[in-house]
């Protein structure tokens, strides 16, 4: 067998991209870290905790608006130095899958759970006065909610539930584990005891029941419920055009490594923004992806502005990271 | 090129064995997972067995736009044919079995890549690149021989970089 001296292939081929998001601690402005040394080649079906898999995405595009100033000197003036005078980075894509988190990220403002309403309540576009919440009992976890014998019969298999604490007139970010909204004045939310559960990301679907508890199909995003948490049935999700709250999440996008090398884009802090193609007439919130006329999938269009992050390794302010994991045996340059 | 063919074949065979261990055929007294390569079977008296995937290799070419330089990206046409005589004597369920075979083929085609290995040595050697392929497109029913049977044929294109080691 003869040995060739050809350089090994370095072409990156990918047909699909997958998105993962994780919470930013809004009070501390602390991002979730994606460490490529620890997690780089993770199984795309099982992302490292606490990253949440939001499925395959399409029409992914990154935009760089960073400006570079050139300082000149001499006669004639010649460039002698450059500096980055402003940092701007944006990213846009379409979610092909719909869910609570996908809607919240594409919508951008506080995302609401429509709580199962009392039939006699006044109609409201985001849901009227809900039926009373059921308090959780000790021993509840992110996957099993202990309600007690009898009370557990209030929920059926396949029900959607919102699980969080009662609103207790606090101001600031609310939501257990994940910041779901910001309350400036309790009167803004009518001191509604259910308001936290109206916006919480801690939602789940009942997959099974025991004599005293319900078992969730997916664990609550915010982890184990607080001791004073309660559960209410959810019938739908709502986002709205408008609102004062801005979501902020850490994001990771991965090109599936069909030719062997993996490319990842990590954004420590992303906040919803207007799309790049914004103009006088606005833009499409949803994109229609043709399947075969007249069938089409409805994709949620999402657009984000990258917020700054200070890399502790060298104290540089950056917006995003592009990581490349060469295929085994691939040439490096 | 042979390494790419072998790697593709073994990827499908391994995935099928995991997905449906019961999908096997008996070839000359040997039980095998029901993925076979037509060009590797004995010539002359070769006749495809029912309920088995037969990989048929077609023409190869350099991919336009990636055919420059020392290591072009090559493509290889591939057709996977299969038919069924059903599971009962009347063969009334042959369509259902063909549908199950369709589903299994589409499942084992994902993810649409695998490492390219040299299986001529033991243990097999990693050749440093991936073999990847397009999604299979399953054709309409076609006549399978002269027995009044029908087959499905899935078309796809397999891509790979040629080996550095030339056998």
Model confidence over A299-333: pLDDT tens digits? 999 999 999 999 999 999 999 999 999 887 788 88
**How near does any CA of chain B get to the CA of A206, in Å?**
29
Given this model, what pLDDT does residue A77 score?
92
**How near does any CA of chain B get to the CA of A164, in Å?**
38
**CA–CA dist B27, B41 (Å, integer):** 10
Given this model, what pLDDT does residue B167 score?
40
**How near does any CA of chain A get to the CA of B3, in Å?**
14
Which of B70, B129, B165 is closest, CB to CB, to A259? B129
- Condensed to tens digits (0 to 9), the pLDDT of residues B75-110 reads 999 999 998 887 777 777 888 889 999 999 999 999
Would the pLDDT of B68 be above 70?
no
Domain limits, chain A: 11-108+246-325, 112-239
- Is B132 an interface residue toward A (CB < 8 Å)? yes
For A171-208, give the DSSP string.
-EEESSSS--EEES-GGGGTT-TTHHHHH-S-EEEEEE
Would the pLDDT of B165 be above 50?
no
Q: Could you tell me the two tokens for B138?
A: 């399953």
Would the pLDDT of A256 be above 80?
yes
Residue of B nearest to A262 (CA): B130
Q: Calculate mean pLDDT across residues A101-121.
A: 93
Would the pLDDT of B42 be above 70?
yes
Q: Do A260 and B70 touch (CB under 8 A)?
A: no
The H-or-E segment that residue B19 falls in is: helix B2-19
Tell me the residues of chain B between 47 and 106 that have a Cβ less than 8 Å away from chain A.
66, 70-71, 73
Given this model, what pLDDT does residue A4 score?
52
Given this model, what pLDDT does residue B166 score?
43
* N-term to C-term CA, chain B: 10
Strand locations in chain B (E): 24-27, 30-33, 35-37, 53-62, 74-83, 113-118, 125-133, 137-138, 142-144, 149-160, 165-166
Kindly report which listed range (A72-86, A142-156, B133-147) carries the lowest average pLDDT score.
B133-147
Main-chain dihedrals φ then ψ at residue A323, nearest 5 degrees: -115, 140
Which of A3, A7, A327 is closest, CB to CB, to B71? A7
Given this model, what pLDDT does residue B91 score?
75
Q: Could you tell me the two tokens for A49?
A: 């905790």
- Is A326 an interface residue toward B (CB < 8 Å)? no
- A255 CB neighbours in chain B (<8 A) are none
Q: Could you tell me the two tokens for A56?
A: 């395959």
Q: Calculate mean pLDDT across residues A163-181.
A: 94
For B81-112, give the DSSP string.
EEE---SSTT-TTHHHHHHHHHHHHHHHT-SS
Given this model, what pLDDT does residue A275 score?
73
Measuring CA to CA, which residue among A103, A171, A159, A173 is closest to residue A131?
A: A159
Q: Which residue has the tokens 């309790």?
A: A186
Q: Do B111 and A3 touch (CB under 8 A)?
A: no
Q: Calculate mean pLDDT across residues A161-188.
A: 95
Q: Do B127 and A329 touch (CB under 8 A)?
A: yes
Given this model, what pLDDT does residue A304 score?
95
Predicted confidence band at B69 (pLDDT cuts at 50, 70, 90)?
A: low
Query: Can you list the alpha helix ranges (DSSP code H) found in chain A?
Result: 36-39, 100-107, 195-199
pTM: 0.86
Q: Do B129 and A8 touch (CB under 8 A)?
A: yes
**CA–CA dist A237, A227 (Å, integer):** 25
The verdict on ipTM greater than 0.90 is no
- Is A1 an interface residue toward B (CB < 8 Å)? yes
| B139: CB partners within 8 A, 6+ apart | B152, B153, B154, B155
The distance from CA B51 to its chain's CA centroid, rounded to whole angstroms, is: 13
Residue of A nearest to B135 (CA): A15
Determine contact, residues A68/A235, Cβ cutoff 8 Å. no
**CA–CA dist A162, B71 (Å, integer):** 55
**How near does any CA of chain A get to the CA of B104, in Å?**
20
- A13 CB neighbours in chain B (<8 A) are 130, 132, 159
Residue of B nearest to A257 (CA): B113
Which of A2, A4, A260 is closest, CB to CB, to B129? A260
Given this model, what pLDDT does residue A1 score?
43
Kindly report which listed range (A46-50, A79-83, A147-151, B94-98) carries the lowest average pLDDT score.
B94-98
Q: Directed axis angle between helix B2-19 and helix B94-108, to 10°?
A: 120
**How near does any CA of chain B get to the CA of A56, in Å?**
13
CB pairs under 8 A between A and B: 65
Q: Could you tell me the two tokens for B115?
A: 């490492």
Would the pLDDT of B9 be above 70?
yes
**How near does any CA of chain B get to the CA of A289, in Å?**
18
Q: Calculate mean pLDDT across residues A178-204.
A: 95
**CA–CA dist A147, A225 (Å, integer):** 12
Would the pLDDT of A249 be above 60?
yes
Determine contact, residues A274/A286, Cβ cutoff 8 Å. no
Q: Is A51 exposed, middle or buried (0-12, 13-18, 19+ CB in 10 A)?
A: buried
Q: Which residue has the tokens 């890399």?
A: A311
Would the pLDDT of B40 be above 80?
yes
Bridge partners (DSSP) of residue A70 are A82
**CA–CA dist A160, A183 (Å, integer):** 25
Q: Calculate mean pLDDT across residues A74-96.
A: 92
Determine contact, residues A257/B130, Cβ cutoff 8 Å. yes
- B127 CB neighbours in chain A (<8 A) are 329
């Amino acid at each position: 067998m003869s040995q060739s001296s050809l350089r090994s292939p370095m072409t990156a081929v990918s047909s699909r991209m997958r998105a993962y998001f994780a919470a930013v601690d809004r009070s501390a402005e602390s991002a979730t870290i994606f460490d490529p040394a620890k997690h780089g080649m993770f199984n795309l079906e099982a992302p490292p905790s606490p990253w949440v898999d939001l499925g395959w995405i399409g029409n992914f595009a990154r935009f760089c608006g960073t400006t570079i100033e050139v300082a000149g000197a001499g006669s004639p003036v010649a460039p002698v130095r450059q500096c980055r005078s402003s940092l701007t980075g944006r990213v846009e894509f379409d979610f092909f899958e719909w869910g609570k988190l996908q809607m919240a990220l594409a919508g951008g403002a506080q995302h609401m759970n429509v709580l199962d309403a009392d039939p006699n309540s006044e109609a409201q576009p985001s849901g009227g006065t809900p039926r009373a919440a059921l308090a959780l009992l000790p021993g509840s976890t992110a996957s099993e909610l202990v309600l007690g014998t009898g009370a557990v019969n209030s929920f059926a298999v396949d029900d959607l539930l919102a699980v969080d604490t009662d609103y207790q007139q606090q101001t600031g970010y609310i939501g257990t584990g994940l910041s779901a909204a910001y309350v400036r004045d309790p009167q803004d939310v009518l001191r509604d005891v259910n308001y936290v559960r109206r916006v919480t990301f801690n939602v789940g679907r009942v997959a099974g029941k025991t004599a005293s508890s319900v078992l969730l199909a997916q664990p609550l995003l915010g982890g184990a419920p607080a001791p004073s948490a309660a559960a209410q049935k959810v019938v739908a999700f709502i986002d709205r055009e408008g609102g004062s709250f801005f979501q902020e999440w850490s994001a990771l996008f991965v090109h599936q490594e069909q030719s062997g090398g993996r490319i990842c884009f990590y954004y420590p802090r992303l906040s919803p923004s207007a799309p790049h193609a914004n103009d006088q007439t606005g833009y499409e919130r949803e994109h229609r992806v043709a399947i075969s006329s007249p069938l089409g999938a409805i994709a949620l269009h999402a657009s984000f502005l990258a917020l700054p992050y200070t890399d502790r390794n060298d104290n540089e302010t950056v917006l995003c990271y592009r990581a490349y994991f060469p295929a085994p045996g691939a040439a490096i340059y | 090129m042979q390494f790419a063919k072998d790697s593709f074949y073994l990827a499908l065979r391994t995935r099928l064995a995991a997905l449906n261990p019961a999908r096997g055929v008996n070839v000359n007294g040997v039980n095998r997972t029901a993925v076979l390569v037509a060009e590797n079977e004995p010539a002359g008296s070769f006749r495809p067995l029912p309920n088995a995937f037969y990989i048929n290799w077609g023409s190869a070419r350099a991919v336009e736009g990636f055919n420059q330089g020392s290591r072009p990206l090559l493509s290889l046409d591939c057709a996977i044919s299969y038919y069924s005589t059903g599971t009962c004597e009347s063969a009334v369920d042959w369509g259902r079995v063909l549908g199950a075979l369709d589903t299994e083929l589409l499942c084992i085609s994902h993810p649409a890549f695998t490492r390219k290995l040299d299986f001529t040595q033991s243990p097999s050697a990693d050749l440093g690149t991936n073999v990847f392929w397009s999604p299979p497109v399953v054709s309409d029913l076609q006549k399978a021989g002269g027995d009044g049977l029908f087959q499905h044929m899935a078309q796809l294109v397999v891509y790979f970089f040629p080996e550095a080691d030339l056998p």
